[in-house]
Amino acid sequence: MFATDTLGQGALTGITVLDLGQAFMGPYCALLLQRLGADVIKVEPLKGEPYRRPTVRKGTEMMQFGLLNAGKRSVSLDLKNPEGRELFLRLAATADVVIQNFAPGTFDRLIGVDAVLDANPRLILASGSGYGSTGPYRSLRAMDLTVQAMSGVMATTGFPDGIPVRTGPSVVDFMGGAHLTAAVLAALVQRSVTGKGQHVEVALYDAILPSLASNIGGYLDNDGAIPERTGNRHGGLEVSPYNSYKTQDGWAAILCLHDRHWASLCRAMERPELIEDPAFKTGRARAASIDRVDAVVEAWTSTRTTDDVIMVLSDAGIACAPVKSLREVITDPQVAERGMLRYHSREDRDWWTLGSPLRLSDSPAPEESEVPRLGEHTAEVLAERLLLERSELEALDACGVTGTGTEVKDGYHGRSSLALVDTADS
């Protein structure tokens, strides 16, 4: 349950989450909960979560894993082993939330929804899936790419004369993870009233569809007469200018949502005569003359540097931004100031962490910590939550039910995970 006094602590201090998540959706939901103060215990197979695999080029653990799992504790269990399954159910009995986004049918085969909720009637079981538990697609395997294909995201990404394109970022997985977080928080609030847990579900397909509002709205408003893919233009082709425009040294994204913005842009471009031009005066007229509008804007931007364009238009109150590279984003002072991406280094390793987009004035995010080694906290968590003794932990490890992590046994933290059990037992 929630801690009674969390002022100055994370909003979810006192909440324990078991994270069975894999890839992006489940782990991102768990990461947001951890950044809100929850104790997140990542439960992994003995060989680790799939994104622990070595990268193709460097042969080191994938950076994606670190970005999504720093600050969590790692417990390694063989859930296919009856003893491993029993240990998980015992842990679930002490937890508040379980997160899983396995392929359809996998969770029921390994654990079972009823078994988890029977073990702890106050538990929130959060399930992420591709298409949900109902409907004709419910049994389909899903990844970000395939849901983008099925949902219309790919059909609406790219240029009219080009092929369907996936979005650069994994928008489906992260939209799904954010929605799953909202469902968990709502269920925790309801539990505080009813005392009962429940099973909450978010499907990637459901979560991404609302993001197509402009595209679907424009398509319906125009009786399907506009192209599905509009490049960098507005999805419904209803706002103009709305595009990325070439500059002397790069690109600038510019849009004018209202007529007053267009008038300001015309003055900034020193083309005041265009304000009253019937071809450009209203939003409807500009949408009908979208090619001409873009040509006028780019004729101006192409004679200036990106910095100059942004400075002039920002002063004029026009929404605009430089089109930045990944390198520029990683080193962006705004990103650094907000703590959204941080580099950490120790003598024997380095890692990156993500900050939280959720900001609460009285509940700061916990201090960031390292990316857990596989199984690093197995003995610590089982001793702490299940009161297992050292001999029991050693026996479980020896027969392959649990894993405590080679690095930890070798003293990565100065003492082994089993040494922590001695402290807890004393």
Identify the DSSP state of 188.
H
Per-residue pLDDT tens for 175-195?
Answer: 999 999 999 999 999 999 999
CA pair distance 123, 114, nearest whole angstrom: 11
Q: How confident is the model at residue 367 (pLDDT cuts 50, 70, 90)?
A: confident
- Distance of alpha carbon 159 from alpha carbon 166, whole angstroms: 12
Please answer whether residues 141 and 103 qualify as being in contact, where contact means their C-beta atoms are separated by less than 8 angstroms. yes
pLDDT band per the 50, 70, 90 thresholds, residue 57? low
**Token code pair at residue 335:** 């990103």
pLDDT reading at 345 higher than 50? yes
**Average pLDDT taken over every residue of the chain:** 89
| Catalytic annotation, residues | 173
- Helices H, strands E: what count in the chain? 19, 12
Q: Residue 164: pLDDT band by 50, 70, 90 thresholds?
A: very high
Torsion angle, alpha carbons of 169, 174, 176, 177, to 10:
170
Sign of the four-CA dihedral 128, 132, 138, 142: negative
* Identity of the residue numbered 319: A
Band the pLDDT of 5: cuts 50, 70, 90. Answer: low
Round to whole Å and give the CA distance between 403 and 400.
Answer: 7
Instruction: Report helix, strand or coil for 288.
Output: helix
Closest among 64, 61, 39, 9 to 353, alpha carbons compared: 64
CB 37 within 8 A of CB 12: yes
Read off the pLDDT band of 52 (50, 70, 90). Answer: confident
- Under DSSP, the state recorded for 102 is P
What's the pLDDT at 60? 61
Q: Which residues pair with 61 in a beta bridge?
A: 54
Q: Which residues contact 133 (CB under 8 A, 6 or more apart)?
A: 127, 201
Whether the CB-CB separation of 292 and 235 falls below 8 Å is answered with: no
Distance CA 355, CA 364 (A): 11
Mean pLDDT of 384-388: 94
Which of 233-247, 353-367, 406-420 has the least mean pLDDT? 406-420
Give the pLDDT confidence score for residue 418 in this predicted structure.
38
Q: Has residue 368 got a pLDDT over 90?
A: no
Is residue 419's pLDDT more than 50? no
Q: With bands split at pLDDT 50, 70 and 90, how would you rate the model's confidence at 348?
A: confident
Query: How far are the Cα atoms of 82, 280, 310 from residue 321, in angstroms, in the given order?
Result: 56, 23, 6
> Which residues does residue 345 pair with via DSSP β-bridges, in sequence order?
350
Helical segments of 236-325, H only: 259-268, 283-288, 290-301, 306-315
> Residue 13: left if φ>0, alpha if ψ -120 to 50, beta else—which one?
beta
Report the predicted TM-score, pTM, of the whole model to 2 decimal places. Answer: 0.89
Between CA 10 and CA 7 the distance in angstroms is 8
Task: Report the 10 Å Cβ neighbour count for 210.
Answer: 10
How much is the pLDDT for 61?
A: 67
Residue 203 makes CB contacts below 8 A (sequence gap 6+) with: 128, 129, 130, 131, 132, 176
Residue 335 pLDDT grade (very low, low, confident, very high; cuts 50, 70, 90): very high
CA nearest to 60, candidates 348, 329, 279: 348
Q: What is the pLDDT of residue 408?
A: 33
Residue 371 and residue 71: Cα distance in Å, rounded? 6
- Give the model's pLDDT for residue 365: 82
pLDDT at residue 352 above 90? no
Nearest to 65 by CA among 47, 78, 53: 53
Q: Say which residue, 315 or 224, is predicted with more confidence.
A: 315
Cis peptide upstream of residue 366 (ω within 30 degrees of 0): no
DSSP notation for 360-406: -TTSPPPPP-PPPPTTTTHHHHHHHHH---HHHHHHHHHTTSEE--H
pLDDT at residue 422 in the model: 36
Question: Contact at 8 Å (CB) between 36 and 182?
Answer: no
Whole-number pLDDT of residue 410: 31
Residue range 6-48, pLDDT digits in tens: 556 889 999 999 999 999 999 999 999 999 999 999 999 999 9
405 confidence band (pLDDT: 50, 70, 90) = low
Q: In the predicted model, what is the mean pLDDT of residues 316-336?
A: 94
Q: Is 308 helix (H, G, I), strand (E, B) or coil?
A: helix
Q: Is the pLDDT of residue 343 over 80?
A: yes
The Cα 166–Cα 146 span in angstroms is 9
Residue with token string 């909202």: 182
Choice among 111-115, 276-280, 370-374, 410-414 with the minimum mean pLDDT: 410-414
